[in-house]
A and B are shown apart, each in its own frame.
Chain A
Amino acid sequence: MTLTYRFISLIGGSSLLFKETVRQIFRGKYEWNATFYQIYAVGVASFPVVMVTTMSIGMVMALQFGIGLAKFGGSLYIPKIVSLSVIKEFGPVFASIMVAARVGSGMTSEIGSMVVTEQVNAIQALGTSPIKKIVVPRVVGLFIALPVLCVAANILGVLGGFIVGVHDLGLDPMFYYQKIFETLKVSDYLSGFGKTFFFALMISVFACYYGLNVKVGTKEVGYATTKSVVTSCIAIMIGDYFLTKLFWLFEVWI
């Protein structure tokens, strides 16, 4: 099977899955309990790993820029550079990548195992839709939880930069604080935050697509899980470029 064929299958299959997911959201009784469970599983349970990652990113950036810019007397720009980078890019992207790795892999392996043990067939045989029962709560759950995680990631990333800026680089706390709020505009925040809705859809739809396409044995569940995480991460990276451009055009237009 060629790479082109697999790529077209992925885009076509996941698009159809997304279309059916949207259709199923508005059909019949909504699965609130399953959705709340997914919000918990994605949001609350992923919070520590996202917190550690984005805080570390903020700290490392402040340190690197602090060392680099000190040579040119540019240490005063650290609050601006770090907060802007975290809010517009690193917070949303790293939070999404960590969620893709932690949650996307879990979704694929769980759904894949359900396929292997015929639970997905059983849902269908009992006259219900596997998309409604399995996919919808996961897609909606992640669509709600990831932006919330992004907010936390942004705050902690900026806080990480603040701690290093004040503690290690000797910047005045009040100065650092003022510069963050002078630099950041609402549009900066929204352009980063807005991306996470798209990333949430990418992660959850790819994860469910690979899970549902497991055909045989548990060995394939492992392959599907790997493919799901790799595809989501690549999609986040490539998608980030286009979304950045889109939001930039939107900002210019406004």
Chain B
Amino acid sequence: MAKEIEFKNFKKSFGQKAVHEDISFSVEKGECLGLLGGSGAGKSVILKSLIGLMKPDSGSIFLEGQDITLLNEDEMVEIRKQVAYVFQNGALFDSMTVFDNLAYPLREHTTLTESEIEKRVHDLLNEFNLATDDLLYPGELSGGMQKRVGMARSIILGPEVVLYDEPTAGLDPFNIRRIQEMILAMKAKGVTSIFVTHDMPSAFACCDRIALLRKGRIVHVESVEKLKQNDTGMINDFVNGMTA
């Protein structure tokens, strides 16, 4: 299968602290890669670098064969229309209602009329079980609802790649299950994704492969099928809390 995303010798430091020393991995088209690692390992840095919110110190990031580290801010806009980022806490615009949050990308990047936007937003709100919450402000929503609205806003343009930054963190089992279902639905549409999480049941449910990030490197990549069969090795040690 073709590689949709590829990191090559990616390095990133913050001041004196080297977060990523040499990251190399790839994600195939339509695949969901789980990214595990201890807190502060730099998992979000990888995702943010993929949409140009952060620049690497060196190395390359390829998206469908194009090195996005060479693109300027204007060129990155086109990339960001194809790559959706689901923020850990939703990152909803608190001055806008749920409806306006979802309508935002459509108003910015499409020529749809207001009635078409309204239909598209309400259809998506129905899919996410948020049909009656369109006029609420983010401050009036629960954590789980904010994450679902954030996810809906991210995917409303129909992206080819979705980056999930701990979408199930801090949620109850019911909401975790809903998020899992949404991730699986995106996967069924052929969307490529990277799923940063500490939630192993969700990673096992949604991912094809799982990569372990430790000390600034990807130290192990394994398919979920093999991980389920074999309960030894680095990733299972991490999952079982034996190593950080």
Stretch at the interface among B87-95, B114-122, B212-220: B87-95
Q: How far is the CB of B117 from chain A (nearest CB, A)?
A: 15
Which of these, B52, B89, B153, contacts A118 with CB under 8 Å?
B89
Known contacts A118-B87, A119-B94, A127 near B108 by CB under 8 Å: yes
A122 within 8 A of B: yes
Which of these, A117, A118, A119, A127, contacts B80 with CB under 8 Å?
A127
Known contacts A117-B94, A119-B94, A124 near B89 by CB under 8 Å: no
In the complex, are the beta carbons of B91 and A118 less than 8 A apart?
yes
B204 within 8 A of A: no
A125 within 8 A of B: yes
Interface members, chain B 68-89 (any A CB < 8 Å): 73, 77-78, 80-81, 84-85, 87-89
- Residues of chain A within 8 A (CB-CB) of B85 are 122, 125
- Residues of chain A within 8 A (CB-CB) of B91 are 117-119, 121-122, 125
- Residues of chain B within 8 A (CB-CB) of A123 are 93
- In the bound assembly, the distance between CA atoms of A223 and B184 in angstroms comes to 44
In the complex, are the beta carbons of B53 and A126 less than 8 A apart?
no
B56 within 8 A of A: no
Interface size on A, residues (CB 8 A): 12
Give a binary string over A107-140; 1 marks a CB under 8 Å from any B CB, 0 the rest.
0000000000111011111111100000000000
In the complex, are the beta carbons of B51 and A125 less than 8 A apart?
yes
What residue in chain A is nearest B52 (Cβ atoms)? A124
- In the bound assembly, the distance between CA atoms of A127 and B110 in angstroms comes to 12
Which of these, A119, A121, A126, A127, contacts B48 with CB under 8 Å?
A121
- In the bound assembly, the distance between CA atoms of A128 and B109 in angstroms comes to 9
Q: How far is the CB of A118 from chain B (nearest CB, A)?
A: 4
Q: Would you mind naming 12 contact pairs between A and B with Cβ atoms under 8 Å apart?
A: A117-B89, A117-B91, A119-B93, A121-B87, A124-B52, A125-B51, A125-B84, A125-B87, A126-B80, A126-B104, A126-B105, A127-B81
7 A-B pairs with least C-beta separation: A127-B80, A122-B91, A118-B91, A125-B85, A127-B77, A127-B81, A126-B105
A residues near B, CB below 8 A? Answer: 117-119, 121-129
B residues near A, CB below 8 A? Answer: 48, 51-53, 73, 77-78, 80-81, 84-85, 87-89, 91-94, 104-105, 108-109, 153-154
